[in-house]
């Protein structure tokens, strides 16, 4: 089978990596860390002959790429624009969740002309407050405000366009939920829904969840204390009602439903729904697949999940540690040469069970070093029989990797693995420099 993966980040590298086990994989536009047998092309997806197209990022999904490809008769894993609006507009997502009866945080939505109403709302309801851009902001348009002054300033900055441009001209203000976060990736083919392994990601830039929100600084899977019965409960409470509502609205959704959940004393509540594989969750969940990913994704695209066996996974655990540029997430510096990578873009201290997924790298000279070209640059993923061993292997593999000002959290999966979290975690991202 020939598969075309659309995208260029760490998620797409992980997709191509697992698909290349059984399929001929080409990635458009890809990145220089995607090495043989993965092929990278600058040609647009419409010009690439493939049996299956897997769309990685949210922006082309919201823009309707899946619709246009299906109109050409292509098999596509990824929702059309109507389904992708779940991520394209947080206000729309909240309306659908309310219609479906899915438990979620209390909220209110405001447009750019409703600044005074939004400020009055945060003054009226008790904090903490979660202020989100309604539109796409690459996972960074969320602030958990602990003080009224912080909430008021963020509301004003987002609605004015100062903080996130047009994405923030409409905002959603939510109550802050308490509990443990969980990401559950679900494959849905329009009729059948199949959950993958639960994972946990680490959104804040600093150790012990300090500093600003990011697209994700690391992740691990599976979550050892989440039993199958709890996954069944999440599916029944948070996924199946949403799917029924999508079908009632006439939305033929074929792709990934990413449920960002808070597991509290009163059961699971949905923080957000995304319409693609999470990143970095994809970098820990996908490598653990022990079945044929190409066959699985083709079944999603063609509505035939019921005809194939349920997905299977390795008994290993996986830990991914993200390495980021200085200044991330607000103003990352790029163009720095990266030390500690071999000619194929892998860690010089890697080995069996370790993969470095490239998210933001360039290589102007094919014989020269890789350079940083984004906020999140690399994801170092390690697989091992236990979470503690996978964590140790990931951190050992990133030891030789370095560039000036590199940011890395030291506590990814520490609590779940039973390792010391460490004291004296910095308050500022700049203090995380290796």
Q: What is the mean pLDDT of residues 64-86?
A: 97
By the 8 A CB rule, do 243 and 192 touch? no
Domains of the chain: 2-80 (3.40.50.20), 106-175 (3.30.1490.20), 180-307 (3.30.470.20), 317-420 (3.90.600.10)
For residue 254, give Cα distances in angstroms to 150, 190, 196.
39, 5, 15
The pLDDT tens digits of the residues spanning 229-277 come to: 999 999 999 999 999 999 999 999 999 999 999 998 888 999 889 999 9
The pLDDT tens digits of the residues spanning 92-146 come to 998 999 999 999 888 888 988 888 999 998 988 888 888 888 877 665 678 888 8
Q: Model confidence over 190-243: pLDDT tens digits?
A: 999 999 999 999 999 999 999 988 999 999 999 998 999 999 999 999 999 999
Enumerate residues 6+ apart whose C-beta is below 8 A from 103. Answer: 237, 238, 267, 268, 269, 270
- The three-state secondary structure class of 131 is strand
Show Cβ contacts of residue 135 under 8 Å, excluding neighbours closer than 6 positions: 88, 89, 141, 164, 166, 167, 168, 169, 170
The Cα-based distances of 340 to 17, 328, 369, 411 in angstroms read 21, 21, 10, 21
Query: Is the pLDDT at 347 greater than 80, yes or no?
Result: yes
What pLDDT score was predicted for residue 422? 57
**DSSP state for residue 207 in the 8-state scheme:** G
Q: Are 188 and 306 in contact (CB under 8 A)?
A: no
**pTM passes above 0.95:** no
Task: Give dist(CA 50, CA 72) in Å, integer.
Answer: 12
pLDDT single digits (tens) 264-312: 888 899 988 999 999 999 999 999 999 999 999 999 999 999 999 999 9
- Determine the Cα–Cα distance for residues 139 and 216; give it in Å rounded to an integer: 8
Q: How is residue 194 annotated by DSSP?
A: E
What average pLDDT score do residues 45-52 get?
Answer: 97
DSSP string for 149-184: HHHHHHHHHHHHTTTTGGGGSEEEEEEPP-SEEEEE
């Amino acid at each position: 089978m020939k598969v075309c993966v659309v995208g260029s980040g760490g998620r797409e590298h992980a997709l191509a990596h697992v698909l290349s086990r059984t399929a001929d994989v080409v990635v458009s536009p890809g990145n220089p860390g995607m090495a043989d047998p993965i092929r990278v092309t600058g040609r647009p997806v419409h010009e690439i002959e493939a049996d299956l197209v897997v769309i990685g990022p949210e922006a082309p999904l919201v823009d309707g790429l899946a619709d246009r490809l299906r109109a050409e008769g292509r098999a596509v894993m990824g929702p059309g624009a109507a389904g992708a609006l779940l991520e394209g507009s947080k206000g729309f997502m909240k309306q659908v969740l309310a219609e479906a009866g899915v438990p979620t945080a209390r909220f209110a939505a405001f447009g750019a002309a409703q600044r005074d109403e939004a400020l009055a709302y945060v003054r009226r309801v008790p904090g903490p407050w979660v202020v989100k851009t309604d539109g796409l902001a690459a996972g960074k348009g969320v602030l958990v405000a602990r003080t009224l002054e912080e909430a008021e300033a963020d509301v004003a900055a987002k609605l004015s366009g100062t903080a996130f441009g047009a994405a923030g001209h409409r905002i959603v203000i939510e109550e802050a939920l308490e509990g443990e976060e969980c990401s559950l990736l679900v494959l849905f083919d329009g009729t059948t829904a199949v959950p993958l392994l639960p994972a946990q990601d680490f959104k804040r830039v600093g150790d012990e969840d300090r500093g600003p929100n990011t697209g994700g600084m690391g992740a691990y899977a599976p979550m050892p204390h989440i039993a199958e019965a709890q996954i069944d409960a999440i599916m029944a409470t948070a996924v199946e009602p949403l799917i029924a509502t999508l079908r009632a609205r006439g939305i033929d959704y074929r792709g990934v439903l990413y449920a960002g959940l808070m597991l509290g004393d009163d059961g699971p509540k949905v923080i957000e729904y995304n319409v693609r594989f999470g990143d970095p969750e994809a970098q820990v969940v996908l490598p653990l697949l022990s079945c044929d990913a190409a066959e699985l994704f083709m079944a999603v695209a063609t509505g035939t999940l019921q005809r194939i066996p349920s997905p299977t996974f390795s008994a290993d655990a996986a830990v991914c540690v993200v390495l980021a540029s200085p200044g991330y997430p607000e103003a990352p510096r790029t163009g720095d040469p990266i030390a500690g990578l071999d000619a194929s873009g892998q860690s010089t201290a890697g080995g069996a069970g370790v993969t470095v997924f490239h998210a933001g790298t360039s290589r102007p000279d094919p014989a020269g070093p890789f350079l940083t070209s984004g906020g999140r640059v690399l994801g170092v993923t390690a697989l091992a029989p236990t979470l503690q061993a996978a964590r140790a292997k990931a951190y050992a593999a990133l030891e030789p990797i370095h560039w000036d000002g590199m940011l890395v959290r030291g506590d990814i999966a520490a609590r779940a693995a039973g390792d010391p979290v460490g004291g004296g975690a910095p308050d500022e991202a700049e203090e995380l420099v290796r």
